[in-house]
Structure 1
Amino acid sequence: MIDRIRDRDAFVRLRRDGVRVRSAPMWCSFVADPTVVPPQVAFAVSRALGNAVTRNRLRRRLRVILSNADVPNGLLLFGGRPPLAELTFAELEIRVAALLAAAQHARAHP
């Protein structure tokens, strides 16, 4: 289960304290916080990724993938570059899993 990031302070924490990892064409900023249960997630999906239908489809796919993944407690912000919208659901799952693993690894080994 995941929740939305609802306040500006969370985005400030992501910017200030977040570990940023990339798995082309995606990126993720992560702040580990055991008090944030369930994990809070936001998506930075710009118009460069496509029209409103494409961007909303991408957000829905990412929400489903994250709801089925083992997401660590904390704050996460996902984003990407234009080739992201062309990925299949299976490719998105692989990218998200790689980002989550890389974020946890980078947090554990600064």
Structure 2
Amino acid sequence: MASNVHLSKKHLVLKPRQASLLDIFRVPFSKDLESKHFVKSLRVKQAILERKGIIFLSVFLQKIIQFNEKPLSLFGSTFEMLLNLLGNKNNFGVFLSSLLRG
């Protein structure tokens, strides 16, 4: 199957990287959600667009995760490295001696 083939002709795409915090906090009070530059919808029922609370919460949480992207990545890499070191108990002494030798 080709990568550019869409499985659904109805979709709602939220782009939190393109939204500012002010834009996000305006979502619950907006009358026309489709006019926002970070919301792309194609043949979506108006009832879905009226669920502004869910859309607000989704974009807000994605924005928080994106804001903490680098610290979370650093923490994940460090945690994974520590788990790998602890998992290699047989070679830990060899690792320490290699580390001290440079």
For this structure pair, what is the TM-score category when the shorter chain's length is used for normalisation? 0.3 to 0.5
Larger radius of gyration: 2
* TM-score, normalised by the number of residues in structure 2: 0.34
* TM-score, normalised by the number of residues in structure 1: 0.32
User: Which is strand-richer, 1 or 2?
Assistant: 1
User: Which is helix-richer, 1 or 2?
Assistant: 2
